[in-house]
Chains A and B, each alone.
Chain A
Amino acid sequence: MYEYLNNIVGNEVITYFVVAALPLFLVVLPFALIAVLAERKVSAHMQDRLGPMRVGYHGILQTVADILKLIQKEDIIIPQADKKLFNLAPFLVFIGSYAVFAALPFSSKFIGTNAEVGIFYILAVSGFVVAGILMGGWASDNKYSLLGAMRSAAQIVSYEIPTAIVVLTLVMITGTLNLGTMSEQQTAYFWNWNILGGAGEGIQQILLIPFMVVAFTILFISTLAEVNRTPFDIPEAESELVAGFHTEYSGMKFAMFFLAEYANMFAVSAIIVSLLFGGYQSPFGYLGNTLGIPALIPFEQLFWFLSKGVFFVFVQMWLRWTLPRLRVDQLMTVCWKYLIPYAVFNLLIVGIITLI
């Protein structure tokens, strides 16, 4: 992919700009377009409503209309706000959520960077988002924004620890930090996926399964909290804080926060998929191998990666209409008193199993 584009364009840096733009225009923007509509439709149908119906057939153009509206919206910056920080916040939030896509393996031929630190880099760079959220909340000169930003930062940093410990568990059994290599190890059929103990051999594999399920549960809960989705949407609790840290943002800057939120939803799903559910690997073998067309395989891998990711995004939407919101003290209790001790216990047991 990379060499092929390099031959066409000739300049490596320009090639790379094209490669870096691909996830944006092939995944993030179309995904946000579809996911915003899907979220409204999914929530509508779960509540026995119809959802948007006016724009296009069954409202399929609703998001396009929303974007057209958002572009024309007046940008209001209140005079008491800290203008520089206020304008910088959407940049940081979007950069933080987009930089994660650099290390995600979309298929065996398309991965933004092959840096060996992979998942570790993802954990580090997502800190940009926290900085952006705090900055936006502080600069807004609004009580709701400040409260939302503080809650959001406390929540995201707290839940980063169980996430990191579960990632550590998977690094222990796979022996690599690179998500691309991790996906390659889970090749062939679905019983080689890490959730089914794929990294172990023989008896190890069977022993690992229950602990991988625990790891998945902890990872799913904590990533759900990291992207501020219900039941962990305390920072944006509509009934208490209006819209949380982006209450004062309007127009295109608000759209950027929104885009970053949906990009994040996909990114955490993609991380879960590449760590535990085989990454870009197909569960049943490839059509390209059967038909004898090896060129088809990367596209099939892209399809599998995106569909697994979208499935987990759907589960996130589903949970939004299933579970009520937690209180702040419950939120912190879940993280510090349950998830972290369980995650460490899980890590120690997995460590003992790998030594057998």
Chain B
Amino acid sequence: MLTEFGKIFVFILLAGGFVAIALVAASLIRPKRPTKEKLKTYECGEDPVGSPWVRFNIRFYVVALIFIIFDVEVVMLFPWALVYKNFGVYGFIVGAIFLLVLFLGMAYEWRKGDLEWARPKIEPPKMDIKFKPEIAPRPVEEKTVSEVE
């Protein structure tokens, strides 16, 4: 007897099997003629400069941390959402206080500036108003007959 989660597992197995079959089928048909140029890292036709595994922006890490806090809190709210009606107003207030504490944390992060991302500085193109192009007639070069030929 398959349980309900066993059925989910069958879905996952089938999806994995489908990808495996498709990849194996393609590997039987496709050509394999690697050359030096094909095996280069794609960088818009240029030779790649340095390793791609460089330090990345710390903000991604901060976002991941905030996400974990919020996600765990939301997971904890799911059982509450299912049963709070049984406890009436009291049940709702308990959940509301929980959310309020979560939002105090969010307000702290907001105030600390962890939710800000680097903004591009908008610099309007400067124009020198006093600038006046000097329009002078170009001196006509007289050409001798031998140069024209």
Which residues of A does B touch, CB under 8 Å? 12-13, 16-17, 19-21, 24, 70-76, 78-80, 90-91, 94-95, 98-99, 101-103, 112-116, 120-121, 125, 138, 140-147, 150, 153-154, 157-158, 160-161, 164-165, 168, 171-172, 175-177, 242, 247-248, 251-253, 255-256, 327-329, 332-333, 336-337, 340-341, 344, 347-348, 351-352, 354-355
Contacts and interface: CB of A to CB of B under 8 A. Distances in A.
Most buried by B among A16, A112, A247: A16
A43 B133 CA distance: 46
Contacts of B8: 99, 102-103, 112-113, 115, 121, 125
A8 to B, nearest CB: 17
Contacts of B95: 351
Interface stretch (B113-121, B123-131, B137-145): B113-121
B5 A337 contact: no
Nearest to A331: B117
Contact of B42 (A146, A157, A248, A256): A248
Given A16-B10, A115-B4, A355-B89, 6 more contacts: A13-B2, A72-B29, A142-B42, A157-B67, A248-B42, A256-B23
Interface string B52-85: 1110110110011011001100100110011011
The interface residues of chain B, by DSSP majority, are classed as helix
Contact of B74 (A13, A150, A168): A168
B67 A255 contact: no
A102 B82 CA distance: 22
Interface of B: 1-2, 4-8, 10-12, 14-16, 18-20, 22-23, 25-27, 29-34, 38-44, 48, 51-54, 56-57, 59-60, 63-64, 66-67, 70-71, 74, 77-78, 81-82, 84-85, 88-89, 92, 95-96, 99, 103, 106, 110, 115-120
